[in-house]
Amino acid sequence: MVWPTAPSSGDAAAETVSGTSGSREVAVPRAAAGESAATVSKGTAAVAAPTVPASPAASSAPPAALPGGLDIGLDKQVKGATVRPGRLVEKDGAIVADGKYTIKGNGTAERPYEVSWELLMSAADTFIPRLGEKQIPQRIAMLDGAHIRISGYIAFPLIVTEASECLVMLNQWDGCCIGVPPSPYDAIEVKLAFPADNSRRHVVRVGTLEGIFRIDPYVVEKWLVGLYLMENATLDTEL
């Protein structure tokens, strides 16, 4: 299976600056941070303005944590989205998010975060690109780049000689006609650390996966097609 990513592009802006000695027009492409070019016309002479590096202070600071809450995840950068602060507190060795979601573990390979589908699906509350809603809750942003563990229904590619990818989903789906097709909020596209056992991959239907979690929105014409990835994952079918 091929999971494409949406391209990005920069834009440009022009401004006219007036002063006592005349006026000048400065065109500044903003395609990449830290890059700028300008051409200054004054009288009959054209002068190339020097490149001005981007100021560190110009970069946007992460949002502040709510009073009494943890700031974990607020510094995450998610393509095409901002992080929406929530109330995350530590309780009994776990993180309780917004008074509703309990997340055990610490995000390491030894103690991955134990993630529920209810938690992942809650992104739909604030992240719906086609409606212009582009905020990822802090309780989900904190998982980006961390090790997680989640259980669900497994679907492998139908026609491959070696299955190194799969989908893990909330609902059972055979990839065609039986079951409930997944939405971007209740499925994770998984890259396995080792290919699945060919003798069992069309038998396996439920399993537990551990790996590195990524939030990577894939949007086509404002429609959200994919949202979650998992890398370097291991599959355990002994539930």
Question: What is the spatial distance between Cα 143 and Cα 192, in angstroms, rounded to a whole number?
Answer: 18
Residues 74-111 have pLDDT tens digits of: 999 999 999 999 999 999 999 999 999 999 999 999 99
User: In this predicted structure, what is the pLDDT of residue 161?
Assistant: 74
User: In this predicted structure, what is the pLDDT of residue 42?
Assistant: 40
User: In this predicted structure, what is the pLDDT of residue 63?
Assistant: 86
pLDDT of 133 over the 50 cut: yes
The domain limits of the chain are 82-233
Per the listing, tokens 């022009």 go with 14
Under 8 Å CB-to-CB from 104, ≥6 apart: which residues? 93, 94, 113, 114
181 or 60, higher pLDDT: 181
User: In this predicted structure, what is the pLDDT of residue 7?
Assistant: 43
Please name the fold of domain 82-233.
OB fold (Dihydrolipoamide Acetyltransferase, E2P) (2.40.50)
76: nearest Cα among 85, 89, 88: 85
The two three-digit tokens of residue 221, written as one number: 């014409």
Q: Is the pTM of the predicted complex or chain greater than 0.85?
A: no
Residues 184-219 have pLDDT tens digits of: 999 999 999 998 876 666 666 899 999 999 999 999
User: In this predicted structure, what is the pLDDT of residue 222?
Assistant: 93
- In single-letter form, the type of residue at position 205 comes to R
